[in-house]
Every structure is written in structure tokens, then in C-alpha cells.
Structure 1
């Protein structure tokens, strides 16, 4: 005789063999829903919820002995047939696996559960399966579903006419449709951007993979691609070995080619990607990418092996490259690392798109940090030039390179004392070899007077000792010495004063005028041609180093004598966050000895060139920035760097710039640089566009032109890129190989992407 219990939230626990239900059934009341059975001491009220099993760990599959627990508005139990029928907002679960339906039937004898009406199966990982009806057995692990629809991780959506579930982990589907696209908001029945249709499919919830057979990819409801077999991750799949999306293309050097990467998940801590490339006009090429994580750091490396056939002025023979890095934590203060990079030639990197680089470095280091007050580093370095004009025998090896610094806490006057040391040994096969020990001491103390003037007293001393050979060779070409040793010392003292005059402009903001003057004194450094120069070859005089005690970036060249530095800065800060700022300044040296500066640097005369900076930002989305150097005699431009950036609310940004630098004696070829650059980026909805062009006025030709266009939404990616480089190889006076690149990429999110490259 069936027994009925009505009431929202009634809870039952169905043990795996039906024992819990059998024990609980005698307490079910026969009276009307309002009746309450007597409560005996030590017993719960009749019809009260049976204790639910402790929930399983998130994501853990249910075990055989876990009970099936459910709630419903109404439950009917037939003792003769051992049949439980639950109706109204039924929710049943076992472990972290949940079933929801309008009606739920459980047969105690067979262990078969049937759910009908708005059926939902919620897996432990959050994926949801909808169905018209479901028949489950074997602890919810096996069953048959009709009218299946699934909401997978990463917005994946699947639908099938029917499905069979096996062992709780496999769904065999028939007449399947899959997509990761959201339905159209105005017409939900319209075909999505893309969808995949297949005759049959298998969802493997153990390996988190979806496998399709006899599959067609449709775009906007139009079938465009057919494949007999397709596989992709389903949901939050762990790392798994397998083939990645291929890349196709055609280039002048390679002809037609295809690259089919293979991903190997070696274990939880390391993986490897193999990128074999087969071409019609070139030898096969194999690229590799390796990564490994440790408890104390990580390493990564990429490399390749191939063969160049000597076409397009490229060298003939075996070729390859290695780019690698490692980072390791030793303890809370020390860490270590390395970078090793090598390539057979720049042409090889360009042709196979491994990243064109002119200079590669190899470095191994260890460094220590002690808050913000102390730092130390020891490293060794080597370099490789890749261009035909590079003489690698003149490129140095640096071993060791030792640097350390320490900064004190402010003293009673507010002054801060710092000390550092920078020592290295430089070796060349052909050229100067140098060993240096250098120490710098620096002290600065600020003071603000009663009128608001800011005074800063600074003192700095440098001590260097050198040992060198072949000073008459590159990069020094000294005529005063060749082999030997030398010690140098320099001391500089400065008194810096600036007075910020601040004026309110009322509703128009705030204005500042700030004059600044600095007096720097110290002994003359004299002729430094007998001192090796390794770290002060590159030099540029701008507003950034106008007030530096030693305006060389390194230690091998020391500025001496007495000079005055002066500048005037003005600024207007607008209420809307914008501003107008300008600075102009120069130096005047007491001595007229030219100093250690090269001709054209702007500092060889007593009166230096003028340096200036200007910045205008009338509104938050528009900025003009300019920096320049102008001759003292006639104001002619010696250096100019201009840039403009505009970002509009329409998601449009425009950049423009101009750069002029004079010929530098330490750069090859020795020629001025005179370029303009213009770029624009636009985003409209899911579409984005971009273009950039650089033009060399001095050479009267473009430098590089790039353009891109793309579309991206929640499920689809379409991208095209174009690059044309006009850089010439100085050795052949011809354009570099692979100077033109055209890339196409189509991506179906959650499935993969396919690329096409032409160069």
C-alpha cells in the first residue's frame, strides 16, 4: 500500500542497497500532511529529515557506498513494489553529483532511477547536462538520456538527440551539435557564428575530452569544413599530450609549408612542444619548446635545427638556434638565473619566424636583495652579433661582473650616504681587454629655507684602477698607450638651488614657475685617452642628465672642472587634470678644454647646447610631448624627439612622432637618423583595426609598414597581420630575407585555431 508524505523540503537518504529507505519507511505518517506523529524521547519527529551523508571533496567522484539523498515537495513510497516516487522540485544528489527534475522515481529492487521533466544533471566540476528524460542506474553512473543539452565549462554548449552514459564518465551522443557561442539576443533560434555538427560524439569526463566522428563545421549555418575525426578539450581539461592546431603558409624561401605542433605533457612539472615543419622548397625544420617548474624556480627553452640552402644571399649549411632562461630562488635574500641565446644567423631567425634579433646575449648571475637599502650582483656575460658586418672577435666577454651598493638611513640632517662598487673583467679575441675595480661614494643632504627655496648639497667621489692590453685596438683606438695599468680618481661637489613659485589661477587651476641653478666643482680630469672606455661610449646630452654630477652614464669617463647648470621650468595644472609644462636649460663650463666629450655632443664648448622639454595635455585624452637639443650659436636642431597621443571615447587612438639624432661616431654606419612615425588603432564592437608606418627622411624611403585587422567575440577569432620591413643588410645592400610577412589566423575558442603565413 503506498504511503504519501507532502511538504516542501522533505529529505530522504537512499542507501546504495535501499537499506536506509527500508529503515526509514515505517516512520512515514499515514495521516494528512498537517498531522504530526508522536515524538518519543531520543527519536526525531516522524518524517524528519534523515541525516545526509557528509559532502565529498569538491570535484571528487561519488563512491559506491555513498547514499542517494533527495528533497521534493511530495514523496510517495510503495512498500510492496519498493518504489519511491518524488514530485515537485525534486533535487537528488550523491556526493557532488546532483540531479534535478519535476518527477523522480527510484526502484529499490533494481536500483534504477528515472527522472522526467526539466531534468538537470550537475557534475562535480560545475558542468550541467539538461535532458527531457533520464534513466539512471548503478549509483547514477550509467543511464540513457533523451533530448540532451549540455552547458560545459568555458561557455561550451552541446545538444544531442540522445545519449548513453557509461560508468559515470562517458557520454556517447548521437546527432550532436556543439558551439561555444552565445545565442543571438534578438533571434535565439538563428544559427550561431559557428557550430560543429557530428553524426556521433563521445564526451570523456575522465580525460576531459570531446571526440567527434563525421563532423562538419558550420559558419552562420553554412557548412564549410568536414573532417572524419575531431577532438578537443571539454571543460577545464588538465594538460594532455596531443597535436595542436596546424599552421599553413607559402613563402619565397620555403615555398608551401605546414607546421603541425605536438604537445607532450611529460608530467605535472614539465612539458615539451615539438614543431616539425615540412616545406616544398627547403629542408625540414624542427622547433622545440621546453618548460619545467621546480619548487624553487623554473627553466624554459626553445630551439630549432634546420638547413639553409643558400638562396636569397643566405649562408648554406646546417642552421639552428637556442633561446633559454632559468630563474631560481636560493633563499629569502638570494636568487640566481641564466640566459643562454645562440643562433646560426639573423637570416635563419627571420626566415623561420623565430624572432629576428641583431645581438644575442648569454649571462649567468646571482643577486641578493636586503630590503631597499642593499643590493649585490655577480654575473658573467657573453654576446653574439648576427649580422654579416659584425666582427664577433671584437665583441667582449665579461667575466666576472660584480656590482654592489648600500644606502644608509637619513642622518640627523636628513642626508643620505650611499656607497657602491662596480668591478669587471672584459676580454676580446681582437681588441682591448680590460680589468677594472671601481668604487663610488655619494652623499646628499636637502634643506628648505624660510622663503621656500630648496637647497641640496651633494658630494661624490670616484676611484678606479685599471689593467689593460691592446688599448690601441677597438673600441678605444688609443694612441697614448697600449698595454699597462692606470688609476684614476675624481671628486665632485655641487650645491643645487631651486625655488618653486606657486600661484593660484582660480577656476583655471594652478601655475608654477621654478628656476633652478646648480654649481658643480671639482679638479680637472685631463686627457683620458689612456683610460680604457667600456661603459661610457654611448652618450647623449638631454634635459635628463643636465644636473647630473657626472653626465656620463658609466665610470670610465669622468667629467671634471667647474660649471654652472641652469634651467627654468614652468607648469600650469588645469582643473580637468590636464597640464602645460616646459623646461629649458644649459650649462656653462669655466674651463675651455673641451672635456672628454666627443665632437657634436653639445658639451665641447664652454657654453653647452640648450636642452628643452615641453608637454601639453589640454584634456586627459590628448598629449603632446617634445624633447630637444639646440646649438648655442644659432639655435639649430641637434636632437629632437616629438610624440603625440590621442585617445578618443570612440575607442580610437592615434599616435605620431618625429625623431632626429645626429651622426654618432660610435655607431656604424655613422649617419644621422631622421624619421617620422604615424600609427592608428580603432575598435568598433568586436572589430579592431591598426596601422603603423615609419619613414626615414634622410634615406627618403620607408623603414617599416604594419597593418592589422581582427574580430573577436566570446567564441570566435579572426585576425590578419601585414608587415613590410625596408631595412637593408649593410653587407649586401639588399633587403633582408623574409622582409614581408602576411599572417592569417582563424580561431574557434575551446576547439583550436588555424594559422596561415606568407612571407
Structure 2
């Protein structure tokens, strides 16, 4: 019987079942029992041999797996399908396999492919001389080439930046993994690296255990070393990374990272176990660290958590690159949120100083630390009440022990008059009760009563007025001149030497707190008396987004005794220092910002912070800065800080460069320098970084260990990266 030819609008169903109209692949998962449906420009059916031949734009699908070809032959007796000419096999996840010819059986699940080419996720491209497909998921490949690099536009046949060549490979489509045996990594067509086995994700692979990319290096302390991380996917909710490090001059070091997620929270922990052999700068003995945190939701309002951080020394963290930290904290807390109206937190804190000069016996434990605040809705006048309480107990092995209960009540009422003036009435009341021992110890060093109890009360009220005068500058934008005056009144508070000071040691008078009711950051020190704060601000806003702005102001206290301000704070006299801010930004790509404080009598600089940034259209950014701060009694060492800093970054094409440096003018030496260079395109990353610190350990007058770091990183995107570190 001669073959039967059918037109293109007929969509047969094989191996049996009712006819079906041509349609895109359904979203349901593929089942081996589903029929094979196809369309074609021309169809021949030989009833004697049960052979179907389709030609011209053939598209066949089973479930959500699609096959396209120029010619398609299907034997209904054997279930074998053969496709030739521009064969495309499209998987449900979007991955596409191309071939010169394909022979498929077992409902498209098994087959042999010649001239295979695959387009994988994340721009991955794979080619093989031949392949065998089994179980619908596995491709066993021979003479394989893989890369995620785009072909060269000028010469598409030129070797890519990098590619993998392997004698054999397996592509696991279900597990989203590609595994190579006897593989060579080529750069620009030149073999550079050989490995007997290599595995990498092929698309959005599920989590699974396995080795991660290694890091190699050499340091003055460790010698040569290699770190080979291993990732363990314990289950769907937790994972562990083991980072064993083998060095030629030190015993092995083991780092660990653990993460677990719950329906109600998460836990993260990083730690290590090691040993320091000791030298002129470091101690000898067992060493280690742990950085951990946990957050847990109790209900929609409350959550609880912890932070636990501990290490044997800062030197250990620097040497093994676990993150240099001088002080570590341990915290356990519970907190509640009621929208934006109320907040509560109850916690306990402890601290660990890591440097040899730190006296941990004077570092406090805080248990408990209780803070609650509440903000009312606006009242009939538009004002808002706030109430908060901050209570704590501080203990030290040596030094002052303090227990405090404190309450603050505040009220703020804004008002706009008929001519545009902005008025604000503010009031604040503080009540605190203290019990203390050893007030002569750290951090108070007071000559007042050594042990005892006391209470403080203070009330502050202020009327704040500012008038923004605005005028149009036509096509050049608009201008604003805004004078501001605030009158603050309250009782005198004296020097408060008999009150413990735990939260108000740090004081920096700038334009940021010029109009604060209490210029101290905490509540253990209260500013008293009557004063006038005043400032003049001017600004010019340009249509292009740029602006010019300037502010200058000061404060004048009526009484001579207004608070416990230390010499040089800028507030120790009735007339305060002048504070100022200036911003020059003629265009969005050029900005200069300066903030300063200047002596009331002679204009001498008491504080200066200057910064500038320039961003060119050539993707170049230059930043610079200058910082001067006078010596303050609460920082060690007690000396001025006088530094300049400059940084530059440049991008062009796939390249980027950056450099940064800080220099201390007073001691005439650098503080830190760094530089980096990197090349990155769609498939390749090459990066180099160098960083050096010049800080000296006051105990030895030597530079801290691991003060210089040199990092190299080579990344093959979709495959992995390899790092090299030198210290």
C-alpha cells in the first residue's frame, strides 16, 4: 500500500488516542504514558510498516518535552523515533539541546545524539561529538567542550576566553550538574590546567554536598597553605561548610560555618579551631573563635535573639583572615514592636577586648538593659507626646558598678504662622535614680563619694523659630535663606561629678546637635541653664540637581554654670564655638562637603571634616578628605587626629581599578593603603587586591601581624573560582 500524505493542519497522536490540535507544550510534568503529539508541513504514513514520516518544520512533544527537526520518523512497532536536520530538544526548564541527528526511544527518554550542542542556563554552552541519553535525564558525552563565554564578534570561530575540554562527561539534567573526567581548562585556546575530575552546576542546581573552590596562598606566618572548603547540605533547612586549612609552618586550622532556618527564625554561626606557634608578636597556644547570631519570632509583636562572639586574640583573627575586630560583644535580647507607636527591648550584654592593652576587668557587663518608648497620636493641637524609660545594671570586675532607672517625657508642638514662620514648642523632662559602688574607678575616676546612691532631675523647654525665605532664580533654580533661633530654658545642673557616667562619655559638638535640647548623647550627663541657639542657613538649588548650601551657628548660655563639659568640647564657655557646614555641588557629579567647629574668640580650628567627590562621564570617580579632631580625654591615646585621605576608581570596558590611602600628618606616616584591579566579563573574572595597615601595637611598638594582605582571584563563571592570598 502506498504511503499517505496529510496536510500540515493535521496533528496525529501517537502511539494511540484521539486527535489533538497543535498547541504549545503543556505545563504538567512529563509522564511516560502520555502520547507523542506532533505537527508538520507534510506527513506520510505507511500502514504496512506502521511507519510515520513527517517533513518540514516538524514539532513533536510529549508532556512538556518538545522536539523540533526538519524530518521526523516514528516506528509505531518499536517506539523508536529518528530526527534529522537542525534537531532541537527543549526541556521543561528552558534548557535546549541541539544535534545533527537524534535517535530516541522509550517515550523520548533514551537515545543517541550526534553532533550535540546544548544551551544551558546562565549562558552555559556545551558541545560534544556524540552523546547517549538514558532515563530522560542523563547525557553521557564524549569529546566535550564547555564554556559560558560569548563568541567573539569579529571572529566567531576564535577560541573563547576560557573553555573546558574533557574526554568524557555526564550532564545530569535532573540534578542540574555537569561532571567531567580528564578535563583541561584552556585560556584563549592554550591549555593551562588539568584535573582528573571536575563538577559544576548546570543551571539552577539544587543544594547538594561537595567540595568548593580552593584557596591557595603564602604568608610570613603560615608559610604556604591551601584551604579546601567542603559544603554539606545536611537537609532542606540546615547546612555546614568545613574549611580545613593546611599550612607549612603552622598546625592545621579548621574553620566552620553553620546555618539553619526555622519556620520562626534562623541561626548562623562561624567558628574555628587552631593553634598559634608564637613569635615575637604573637602568643603561643590553642586558639579559636566563634561569631554567631540567632533571631526567632515569638509572635507578630515579639521576637528574641542572641549574638555570641568570642576569640582568643585579635592577632589570631588577623592571621587567619577571620575578620579583624578589636571588641566583641555577646547579647541576649527580647524586643517588641507595635507599629511606629511603641517599642520595647530587654537585653543582657557582655564585651571582650582582644588587644593586649585592653583591661577586660574594666569592660562592663550589662544585665539587664531595659528600654521602652511610646509615641502618642497627634493631639487636638497637633502636638505629640513621647514617653520612654531606659534602665540598666552595669557591673565590672574592677571599676564602677552602676544601677540606673531613668524616665524621659517629651512633647513637641509644631506651628506655622501666617507669614510662613515655622515654630516648634518642645519640652523634655528627665528623672533618674542611681546606685553605685567604686565611683573612683573606671570609667568615672571621680573624687566624689565612692559608694552610694543619688538621683537627678532635669526639665528643658524650648521655643524654636525658623523662617525660610524663598525666591525664584528663574532658569537658574531657586534660593533659600533661613534664619533659625531657639531659646532653651531649664535649671542649672552643675558638674555632676557625683553621678556615674555610663552613656554620656562621648561628646562631639557639631551642627548636627546644635539645636538638641541636651547635647550629650546619653542621659547620665544633663545640660542645664538658659541658652540661645542661633544659625543662618542659605541654599541655592539648581535645575540640574546641583546645589550650594551653607550654615553657620553657635550657642550662648546666660549662666556661667551650664553643664559638665570638658575643656575643648566647644561648650565649656558661655559662648560656644562656632559650628558650620558648607556644601558645593554645582552638578550632580561634583560635590564638596565641609563641616567644622571654630573657636569663639580667635577662630582657631577645633574640628574639621572635609570631603569631596568627582565622578566623570568616563566612569572615573575621585574622592578626597581631610579630618582634624582635637584630643579628647575619653579616647586612648590622647592626641590630636590629623589625617588626609584620597581615593580613585576607574572603569572602562570590562576593566576596573581603584586605589585608596590615608595619611597621618602629625606622626608623618601612612595609616592604611589599598589598591585593586579587576577584569570581569560575562564569563570570566580576574581580580587582584593589596591592603596594608600601618597601625602599631603599643605593647610591642611593632606593626600588627598580618598587616599586609595580597589577594588574587580567578573566576570561571558557572564553574567556580580559585583564590590566592599572601600576607
**TM-score surpassing 0.5?**
yes
SS, match of residue 347 in structure 1: helix
Whether 2:616 is the aligned partner of 1:645: answer no
Name structure 2 gaps, 5 residues minimum.
none
Q: Do the aligned partners of 1:4 and 1:74 also contact (CA within 8 Å) in 2?
A: no
Cα offset for 1:556?
0.3
Where does residue 279 of structure 1 map in the other structure?
247
Where does residue 259 of structure 1 map in the other structure?
227
Distance 1:361 1:6, change over 3 A: same
Separation in 2, partners of 1:146, 1:111: 20
Separation in 2, partners of 1:357, 1:518: 42
Whether 2:344 is the aligned partner of 1:376: answer yes
Separation in 2, partners of 1:181, 1:449: 66
Where does residue 494 of structure 2 map in the other structure?
526
Which residues in structure 2 correspond to 1:118-129 (within 5 Å)? 118-129=86-97
1:55 to 26, 37, 40: 26
Separation in 1, partners of 2:666, 2:462: 41
Where does residue 285 of structure 2 map in the other structure?
317
Cα offset for 1:593?
2.3
Q: Do the aligned partners of 1:13 and 1:52 also contact (CA within 8 Å) in 2?
A: no
Cα offset for 1:574?
1.4
- Superposed CA deviations along residues 700-751 of structure 1, whole A, max 9, x for unmatched, are 0000000000011111000000001101111111100000000000011111
Whether 2:585 is the aligned partner of 1:614: answer no
Where does residue 370 of structure 2 map in the other structure?
402
Work out which of the two has the higher radius of gyration on C-alpha atoms and give 1 or 2. Answer: 1
Distance 1:559 1:427, change over 3 A: same
SS, match of residue 163 in structure 2: strand
SS, match of residue 361 in structure 2: helix
Where does residue 361 of structure 1 map in the other structure?
329
Cα offset for 1:10?
2.3
Cα offset for 1:19?
3.6
Structure 1 residue ranges, 4+ long, deviating more than 4 angstroms after superposition: 50-54
Q: Do the aligned partners of 1:2 and 1:76 also contact (CA within 8 Å) in 2?
A: no
Separation in 2, partners of 1:505, 1:110: 86
SS, match of residue 435 in structure 2: strand
Cα offset for 1:51?
9.4
Cα offset for 1:252?
0.2
Larger CA deviation: 553-562 vs 510-519: 510-519
1:753 to 697, 715, 721: 721
Aligned-CA RMSD value: 1.3
Cα offset for 1:3?
4.5
Separation in 1, partners of 2:133, 2:317: 51
Where does residue 28 of structure 1 map in the other structure?
none
Where does residue 112 of structure 2 map in the other structure?
144
Whether 2:650 is the aligned partner of 1:682: answer yes
Q: Do the aligned partners of 2:22 and 2:38 also contact (CA within 8 Å) in 1?
A: no
Cα offset for 1:335?
1.6
Whether 2:300 is the aligned partner of 1:329: answer no
Which residues in structure 2 correspond to 1:625-644 (within 5 Å)? 625-644=593-612
Where does residue 12 of structure 1 map in the other structure?
12
2:640 to 655, 668, 672: 672
Where does residue 76 of structure 1 map in the other structure?
44
Distance 1:53 1:456, change over 3 A: closer
Cα offset for 1:68?
1.1
Cα offset for 1:181?
0.5
Larger CA deviation: 72-81 vs 653-662: 72-81
SS, match of residue 507 in structure 1: helix
Distance 1:50 1:667, change over 3 A: closer
Cα offset for 1:49?
3.4
Cα offset for 1:503?
1.6
Cα offset for 1:5?
4.1
Cα offset for 1:9?
3.7
Which residues in structure 2 correspond to 1:457-472 (within 5 Å)? 457-472=425-440
- Superposed CA deviations along residues 544-563 of structure 1, whole A, max 9, x for unmatched, are 11111111010000000111
Distance 1:696 1:164, change over 3 A: same
Where does residue 543 of structure 1 map in the other structure?
511
SS, match of residue 133 in structure 1: strand
Q: How many residues align?
A: 727
Q: Do the aligned partners of 1:274 and 1:289 also contact (CA within 8 Å) in 2?
A: yes
1:235 to 197, 203, 206: 203
Q: Do the aligned partners of 1:53 and 1:66 also contact (CA within 8 Å) in 2?
A: no
1:586 to 551, 554, 570: 554
Separation in 1, partners of 2:31, 2:366: 63
Cα offset for 1:53?
12
Q: Do the aligned partners of 2:251 and 2:274 also contact (CA within 8 Å) in 1?
A: yes
Separation in 2, partners of 1:414, 1:457: 11
Separation in 1, partners of 2:634, 2:660: 30
Which residues in structure 2 correspond to 1:148-167 (within 5 Å)? 148-167=116-135
Q: Do the aligned partners of 1:403 and 1:422 also contact (CA within 8 Å) in 2?
A: yes
Separation in 2, partners of 1:150, 1:479: 81
Separation in 1, partners of 2:25, 2:672: 65
Whether 2:522 is the aligned partner of 1:558: answer no
SS, match of residue 153 in structure 1: coil
SS, match of residue 634 in structure 2: coil
> Which TM-score applies when normalising by structure 1?
0.94
Cα offset for 1:50?
6.2
Q: Do the aligned partners of 2:578 and 2:598 also contact (CA within 8 Å) in 1?
A: yes
Whether 2:509 is the aligned partner of 1:508: answer no
Larger CA deviation: 68-77 vs 604-613: 68-77
Cα offset for 1:566?
0.8
Where does residue 100 of structure 1 map in the other structure?
68
SS, match of residue 304 in structure 1: strand
Separation in 2, partners of 1:346, 1:411: 53
Separation in 2, partners of 1:220, 1:652: 30
SS, match of residue 667 in structure 2: coil
Whether 2:707 is the aligned partner of 1:739: answer yes
Which residues in structure 2 correspond to 1:380-529 (within 5 Å)? 380-529=348-497
Separation in 1, partners of 2:545, 2:348: 47
Q: Do the aligned partners of 2:583 and 2:593 also contact (CA within 8 Å) in 1?
A: yes
- Superposed CA deviations along residues 203-226 of structure 1, whole A, max 9, x for unmatched, are 122322211122111111111111
Cα offset for 1:52?
8.3
Separation in 2, partners of 1:181, 1:653: 29
Name structure 1 gaps, 5 residues minimum.
25-47
Separation in 1, partners of 2:694, 2:431: 46
Separation in 2, partners of 1:53, 1:120: 15
Where does residue 300 of structure 1 map in the other structure?
268
SS, match of residue 588 in structure 1: strand
- Superposed CA deviations along residues 65-124 of structure 1, whole A, max 9, x for unmatched, are 111111111111111101111111111111111111011111011110000000001112
Cα offset for 1:443?
0.7
Separation in 2, partners of 1:512, 1:527: 40
SS, match of residue 260 in structure 2: strand
Where does residue 152 of structure 2 map in the other structure?
184
